[in-house]
Structure 1
Amino acid sequence: MPDRRGPEMEIVHLLRAVTVELGLHSARGANRNGMHATDVRALIALMDARRAGEEMTAGGLGGALGLNSAGTTALLDRLERAGHVRRVRGERDRRRVVIEVDQRAVELGLSFFGPLIDRSVELLRGYDERQLAALRGFLGGVREAVAGADGVS
């Protein structure tokens, strides 16, 4: 069992606090814009897929968010009515329907999250390449641990 008092635990507790604060910040943004917290998570997932050059289907989005088919449909209907997304034919396979984020949703996200992103980038510019690599490794490892935690008893 790891030591629960060392400097590593201070970082674990800071990470937990950051996670809580990010969740609260996201919820405030959702509330301020008449959205559900899941709507914000969905838009983030869709924008991440777009940034990676990947097409996202409804099933893929539901899987990424842990939603069943009915929940995913309700989510997409809500986002589509609000003008945040649209269902379009896939570029690679025209038989597939993929979800596309509207530029207005991107701008809405930037208006709310932009200052936080800018401040985070500013902080990261104070680190050298070795420190950035350590941060990437740590955060990537934590992300993998969380993703795999569901099957752990």
Structure 2
Amino acid sequence: MTSGKTRSAALTSLQNELRVQATRTVMFHSAVAARLGITLTDLSCLNVLGIDGPQTPGSLAARLGITRGGAVTALIDRLERAGYVRRERDPHDRRRVLVALDEASAAVAALFSGLGAAIGAHLDGYDTAEIELLARFVAQLNERVGEAAGQLRSAQTP
């Protein structure tokens, strides 16, 4: 079944919808961060830890696009004081410190639960093959966005 749109028009429509989605995601994350009394970068840190588990401060800095040292230390200190993260020794290398989610991070998940339920209900209308296609698309899109952000950061002049 075709929509009658040209490929160019369809691509433009998709790009515009992705821009709207990106903006709304930033707005939603900003609202969550404000509700929690943390910064958007702090929330991104909690998201990384929630997806990938405990990380070294250096790994968090790289994933968040912030500088190692003072910036990441200040971020971890803020989140630790608020009860969202804790520092722990790496069980495989006791010289290293890992940052892990702590009990208060459950409050973050609670703020995402309504959106998660709505997305889950929406996806009930898709079959497994369609969901796999969407997952591949989003994963590849995430790669492109990450590459573009890295290029912008590396092109910055101090």
Q: TM-score range by the shorter chain?
A: 0.7 to 0.9
| Greater Cα radius of gyration, structure 1 or 2 | 2
Q: What does residue range 21-40 of structure 1 map to in structure 2 within 5 Å?
A: 21-40=24-43
When the two chains are superposed, the root-mean-square deviation of aligned CA atoms in Å is 1.8
What corresponds to 2:129 in structure 1? 130
Q: Deviations over 1:71-130 (max 9, x none)?
A: 10110111011111111001222221000101221x111221110011111111211122
- Structure 2 gaps, min length 5: 1-5
Q: Would you say 1:13 and 2:12 are equivalent positions? A: no
| Percent of aligned positions that are identical | 32
1:82 matched to 2:49: no
How far the C-alpha of 1:8 sits from its partner, in A, is 2.2
Question: Is the counterpart of residue 141 in structure 1 residue 144 in structure 2?
Answer: no
Q: Of 43, 46, 63, which residue of structure 2 is paired with 1:43?
A: 46
Give the match for residue 56 of structure 1. Answer: 55
SS in 1 for 2:12: helix
Task: Determine the structure 2 residue equivalent to 1:112.
Answer: 111
Runs (4+) of structure 1 moved beyond 3 Å? Answer: none
Uncovered stretches (5+) of structure 1, i.e. residues with no partner: none
